[in-house]
Amino acid sequence: MSKLGSSPTRMGEILGCGLPVIANSGVGDVAKVIEEYKVGVLVSDGTQAAMTQALCEFEQLKKDPELATLCRQAAEQVFSLDGGSRAYRELYRQILDS
């Protein structure tokens, strides 16, 4: 069976569409992005109570009129090809200069 996509990849695509996400931590820097940019909700565990809490938080989050803009900005800053290329170029420059 082939892998269709990773959570961080899908997260970038979803945020790029201006939509918030619900996720659990533990996959890459998903939790960091959600918390730093305030573009989603983290589910603490798989219990019914945690799921209910996440849904309530998500409903509150969706009331933010700037949410779609925040989601797109987060996608551009964290997942963009341009940003990634600049970061790798800088990293390689630092390695070659040392």
Task: Give 46-87 pLDDT, tens digit per residue.
Answer: 899 999 999 999 999 999 999 999 999 999 999 888 877 888
pLDDT at 83: 78
Contact by Cβ (8 Å): 79, 16: yes
pLDDT at 25 over 60: yes
Give residue limits of the domains in the chain: 7-97
pLDDT above 70 as % of the chain: 93
pLDDT at 31 over 50: yes
Contact by Cβ (8 Å): 9, 28: no
33: pLDDT confidence band, cut at 50, 70 and 90?
A: very high
Gap between the Cα atoms of 49 and 29, Å rounded: 24
- Cβ atoms within 10 Å, residue 83: 12
Percent of residues in the chain assigned helix, strand, coil, to nearest 5: 65, 10, 30
Whole-structure pTM value: 0.77
User: Under DSSP, is residue 38 helix (H, G, I), strand (E, B) or coil?
Assistant: coil
Mean pLDDT of 8-19: 92
6: pLDDT confidence band, cut at 50, 70 and 90?
A: low
Mean pLDDT of 28-50: 93
Separation in Å, CA 14 to CA 54, 91, 95: 18, 28, 34
DSSP state, 18? T
